[in-house]
A = this chain, B = another copy of it.
Amino acid sequence: MEERTAMSFRVSGNEIWVLDQRALPQEENWLPSKTVNDMIGHIKNLVVRGAPLIAIAAVHSLAQLAEQGASKEDLLLAKKVLLLSRPTAVNLANAMHSLVSNGTEPDPEHIAKAAAKLFDDDVAMCERIAENGAALVCQGDGIIHHCNTGGLATAGIGTALGIIKRAHEQGKRIHVFVDETRPLLQGARLTVWELEKLGVPYSLIIDSISAVYMERGEIQKAFVGADRIALNGDVANKAGTFNLAIVCRHFGVPFYVAAPITTLDPYAYAGASIPIEERDAEEVRGYQGPGEKIFWSSKNCCVRNPAFDLTPNALVTAIVTDVGVYSGREIKSGCLEELSQDILPTC
């Protein structure tokens, strides 16, 4: 495979290494991924996370397997189980769709090239999203951000957080309200870590306090990422996005979704057809850091823990992509459906 390095992903020869995002910010541990099973474990356990990075990591895992001389049958099976590892992130499906198919014999070099291209495309897409999005940020803006959408979630500078990085570099005096993003605390652990490295002023807040700062006029915009976007503009993203969008609407705070156009699901007309992954109750019952698992509620208490939610298009001010910014009005008049023609896999 071609050599590539991102903030939390490295490939060199036949080796893949991933930064264990569960241990951040306390520890920076790089873990090897020697097999497809390793990678599935890393994705399921959130060692690797972020819709764009999941796709890049999974395709490299497939390229690694092909280089190791796997048969077509093995590659087809590997593709299938990789696709099931995080059912909501659509980039994964988009990226893998035509790479290994029944019809043709697998070509390791072709798959490796496709993996490297996916990486490079993501870097470039992040840059374009950042450019497009930073134009929406004004001098002095307070920006609320959900989950982690930065260099840790992509091969490049990130999506929503890439926009924030770019606006900061442009000299816009911004302040980021980082919501902690329960249950897995990607905001508190990862976004804070990235913003500190970038030197962007921020305040960490609990997820449920955003209204206070919107009412005080301290928040002018919201930027979030997306795991999958339906053709009608409904957005599947990390649990907590829908509540945030409602609070933004209440105060008239523009709510922007930033994602590469590959996040569009050409097979989902509306959000209702997007599968929402329900994760382990233990994520809510306590905390699993690098050390021992801690429970704060009773160990068998009843929990409902969807990993994602669906924000209806009506609450989305605009979707910021690498190929343009699409307003709620444009989305309503079907622009995403038109765009989807370009990314529909030809199969």
A: residues with CB less than 8 A from B are 25-26, 179-180, 182-183, 185, 188-189, 192-193, 196, 201-213, 215, 239-240, 242-244, 246-247, 249-250, 284-285, 287, 289, 291, 294-298, 301-306, 309-310
Pairwise interchain contact B301-A204, C-beta atoms closer than 8 A:
yes
Pairwise interchain contact B298-A211, C-beta atoms closer than 8 A:
no
Among A204, A206, A212, A250, residue most surrounded by chain B Cβ atoms (within 10 Å): A206
Pairwise interchain contact A303-B203, C-beta atoms closer than 8 A:
yes
Pairwise interchain contact A295-B26, C-beta atoms closer than 8 A:
yes
- Point out the residues of chain B lying under 8 angstroms from A212, CB to CB: 239, 242, 306, 309-310
Pairwise interchain contact B182-A208, C-beta atoms closer than 8 A:
yes
- Point out the residues of chain B lying under 8 angstroms from A213, CB to CB: 304
Q: How far is the CA of A196 from the CA of B201 in the complex (A)?
A: 43
- Point out the residues of chain B lying under 8 angstroms from A240, CB to CB: 206, 208-209
Pairwise interchain contact B188-A297, C-beta atoms closer than 8 A:
yes
Pairwise interchain contact B182-A242, C-beta atoms closer than 8 A:
no
A295 nearest in chain B by CB position: B26
- Point out the residues of chain B lying under 8 angstroms from A189, CB to CB: 296-297
Q: How far is the CA of A100 from the CA of B193 in the complex (A)?
A: 51
Q: How far is the CA of A176 from the CA of B295 in the complex (A)?
A: 21
Pairwise interchain contact A303-B209, C-beta atoms closer than 8 A:
no
- Point out the residues of chain B lying under 8 angstroms from A250, CB to CB: 246, 249-250
Pairwise interchain contact B296-A211, C-beta atoms closer than 8 A:
no
Give 8 A-B pairs besides A192-B301, A289-B294 with Cβ atoms closer than 8 angstroms: A26-B296, A180-B182, A189-B297, A203-B303, A207-B207, A212-B239, A212-B310, A294-B294
Pairwise interchain contact B243-A296, C-beta atoms closer than 8 A:
no
Report if A306-B209 is in contact (Cβ < 8 Å); known contacts: A189-B296, A289-B294.
yes
B182, B192, B239, B297: the one within 8 Å of A25 (CB) = B297
Q: How far is the CA of A208 from the CA of B209 in the complex (A)?
A: 10
- Point out the residues of chain B lying under 8 angstroms from A207, CB to CB: 182, 206-208
Q: How far is the CA of A240 from the CA of B182 in the complex (A)?
A: 13
Pairwise interchain contact A243-B287, C-beta atoms closer than 8 A:
no
Q: How far is the CA of A144 from the CA of B188 in the complex (A)?
A: 26
Report if A243-B210 is in contact (Cβ < 8 Å); known contacts: A185-B296, A296-B185, A302-B203.
yes
B209, B211, B291, B297: the one within 8 Å of A204 (CB) = B297
Q: How far is the CA of A180 from the CA of B303 in the complex (A)?
A: 10
Q: How far is the CA of A240 from the CA of B206 in the complex (A)?
A: 8
Q: How far is the CA of A204 from the CA of B205 in the complex (A)?
A: 21
- Point out the residues of chain B lying under 8 angstroms from A188, CB to CB: 284-285, 296-297, 301
- Point out the residues of chain B lying under 8 angstroms from A295, CB to CB: 26
Report if A243-B208 is in contact (Cβ < 8 Å); known contacts: A203-B304, A250-B249, A303-B203.
yes
A304 nearest in chain B by CB position: B203
Q: How far is the CA of A242 from the CA of B204 in the complex (A)?
A: 18
Pairwise interchain contact B297-A185, C-beta atoms closer than 8 A:
yes
- Point out the residues of chain B lying under 8 angstroms from A208, CB to CB: 179, 182, 207-208, 239-240, 243-244
**12 examples of A-B residue contacts, CB within 8 angstroms:** A180-B297, A185-B296, A185-B297, A188-B301, A192-B297, A203-B304, A205-B305, A209-B239, A211-B242, A243-B243, A247-B247, A250-B250
